[in-house]
């Protein structure tokens, strides 16, 4: 049976403590249900955007959001299909029972959904039967040679057997997820879609093994912000003969960063009761929430300032601002062009 090789360092222990503290705050927050739903939807979009972006998908965050909403956009069909497929993967994970064992059938179904209508049907949800290499497509340099195809089924089954063992279940879900993510990436069981499958398996472990954060959590965002660091952390474990200590430090730091972002948002919303008292339940997206914080310090904001603050287009800024005016969260001052600005309405 697979046996992970790692040591508990002071950094790992500190990160696990930080993650647990933030998780407790999130789970015990007093968020308004409408806000919870909005944050969950944004986490779904973030997960899908970032995990496909890591693999070279060309759609922007807004385009991914539109594809998920069922809107038709001018883009490559493969890019749109990758997004649609990953949403199906996340829905499949949600459909599994909390007590479900992570067996081979589940992993193969995740892969099948990931590459549906992208790989040939015979390769979707099936182990690779050919030798593959991992490299830099721009330079042609090979960076890693995964195990031979005949080794793949046994190595994968050995990992899944370990995930159901008491040894694995005694570890915190975040540690289990980090180990499983690395090992799937190392084995590279499939012709394509290995990275997305590895990250989906990590998500499955986190969400089904007691790491519930009300589905506000999107770990992939941390990876996508610095892809070279992500690939370097995986490669470093390979170079050290499978010692996962530094990889787990990286992986857990990513969780700590992302869960702290959620914690900050949750605390900001939960502590601001004036909006609930005056307007009832109002669903705001993360950009709008950030603008509220900005306005509490700066008192007013223009469309241009919104664009610069959130790094979005003029149309996105206009849509968000007008939505907040319609909900009576903001008041528009002025009537034309550059003279228009917005202030809080409470």
Q: What is the dihedral angle through the alpha carbons of 93, 97, 99, 100, rounded to the nearest 10 degrees?
A: -60
* 174 and 319 part of one domain: no
**Encoded tokens for 63:** 């385009």
Give the Cβ contact number of residue 145 at 10 Å: 13
Q: Token pair for residue 346? A: 């409470």
Task: Check whether residue 289 and residue 215 sit in a common domain.
Answer: no
Claim to verify: residue 250 and residue 151 sit in the same structural domain? yes
Are both 116 and 228 inside the same structural domain? Answer: yes
Closest Cα partner for 154 from 191, 183, 195, 179? 183
pLDDT in tens, the chain (346 residues): 899 999 999 999 999 999 999 999 998 887 777 778 888 888 999 999 999 999 999 999 999 999 999 999 999 999 999 999 999 999 999 999 887 789 999 999 999 999 999 999 999 999 999 999 887 666 667 778 899 999 999 999 999 999 999 999 999 999 999 999 999 999 999 999 999 999 999 999 999 998 878 888 888 999 999 999 999 999 999 889 899 999 999 999 999 999 999 998 888 777 666 666 666 667 778 788 888 888 888 889 999 999 999 988 999 999 999 999 998 889 999 987 678 999 988 7
Specify whether 170 is located in the same domain as 49.
Answer: yes
Task: Say yes or no: 89 and 194 in one domain.
Answer: yes
Can you tell me the distance from the alpha carbon of 320 to that of 317, in angstroms, rounded to the nearest whole number?
Answer: 5
Instruction: Identify whether residues 40 and 167 lie together within a single domain.
Output: yes
With respect to residue 247, please indicate whether it lies within any of the assigned structural domains.
Answer: yes
Do residues 215 and 292 share a domain? no
CATH code for the domain in which residue 294 is found: 1.10.10.10
Residues 297 and 188 in one domain: no
Q: Which of 269, 300, 317 corresponds to the end of one domain? A: 269
Pairing of strands 134-135, 330-333: unpaired
Q: Where are the alpha helices (DSSP H) in 28-151?
A: 33-54, 61-68, 77-95, 104-114
What pLDDT is attached to residue 178? 98
Same domain, 118 and 20: yes
The reply to whether 125 falls in a domain is yes
Residue 140 has a pLDDT of 67
Whether residue 151 lies inside any domain: the answer is yes
End-of-domain residue from the set 217, 237, 269: 269
Domain co-membership, 23 together with 159: yes
- Compute the distance between CA of residue 57 and CA of residue 39 in angstroms, rounded to an integer: 23
Residue 229: count other Cβ atoms within 10 Å of its Cβ: 13
Residue numbers of the domain that contains 57 = 10-269
If one counts the domains in the chain, the total is 2
- Residue 15 belongs to some domain of the structure: yes
Question: Is the same domain home to 222 and 303?
Answer: no
Residue 113, domain member (yes or no): yes
CA distances from 85 to 109, 139, 198, 216, 219 (A): 12, 29, 15, 20, 18
Residue 332 in tokens? 């528009």
- Which among 269, 301, 325 is the end of a domain? 269
Which CATH number belongs to the domain containing residue 109 in this structure? 1.10.3290.10
């Amino acid at each position: 049976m697979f046996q992970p090789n790692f040591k508990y360092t002071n950094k790992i222990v500190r990160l696990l403590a930080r993650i647990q503290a933030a998780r407790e705050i999130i789970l015990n927050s007093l968020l308004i249900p409408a806000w919870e739903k909005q944050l969950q939807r944004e986490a779904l979009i973030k997960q899908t955007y970032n995990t496909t972006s890591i693999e070279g998908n060309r759609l922007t965050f807004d385009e991914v959001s539109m594809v998920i909403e069922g809107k038709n956009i001018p883009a490559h069909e493969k890019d749109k299909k990758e997004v649609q497929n990953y949403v199906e993967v996340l829905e499949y994970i949600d459909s599994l029972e909390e007590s479900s064992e992570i067996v081979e059938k589940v992993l193969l179904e995740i892969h099948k959904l990931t590459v549906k209508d992208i790989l040939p049907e015979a390769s979707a949800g099936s182990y690779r039967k050919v030798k593959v290499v991992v490299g830099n497509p721009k330079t042609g340099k090979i960076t890693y040679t995964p195990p031979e195809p005949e080794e793949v089924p046994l190595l994968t089954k050995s990992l899944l057997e370990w995930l159901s063992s008491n040894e694995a279940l005694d570890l915190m879900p975040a540690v289990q997820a980090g180990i499983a993510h690395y090992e799937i990436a190392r084995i590279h069981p499939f012709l394509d879609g290995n990275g997305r499958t590895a990250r989906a398996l990590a998500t499955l472990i986190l969400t089904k093994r007691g790491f519930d954060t009300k589905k506000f959590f999107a770990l992939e965002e941390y990876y996508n912000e610095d892809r070279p660091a992500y690939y370097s952390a995986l490669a470093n474990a390979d170079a050290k003969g499978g010692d996962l200590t530094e990889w787990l430090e990286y992986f857990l730091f990513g969780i700590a960063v992302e869960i702290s972002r959620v914690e900050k948002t949750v605390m900001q919303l939960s502590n601001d009761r004036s909006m609930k008292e005056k307007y009832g339940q109002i669903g705001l997206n993360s950009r709008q929430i950030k603008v509220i914080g900005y306005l509490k310090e700066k008192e007013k904001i223009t469309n241009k300032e919104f664009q610069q603050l959130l790094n979005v287009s003029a149309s996105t800024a206009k849509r968000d601002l007008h939505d907040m005016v319609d909900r009576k969260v903001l008041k528009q001052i002025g009537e034309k062009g550059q003279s228009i600005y917005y202030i809080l309405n409470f």
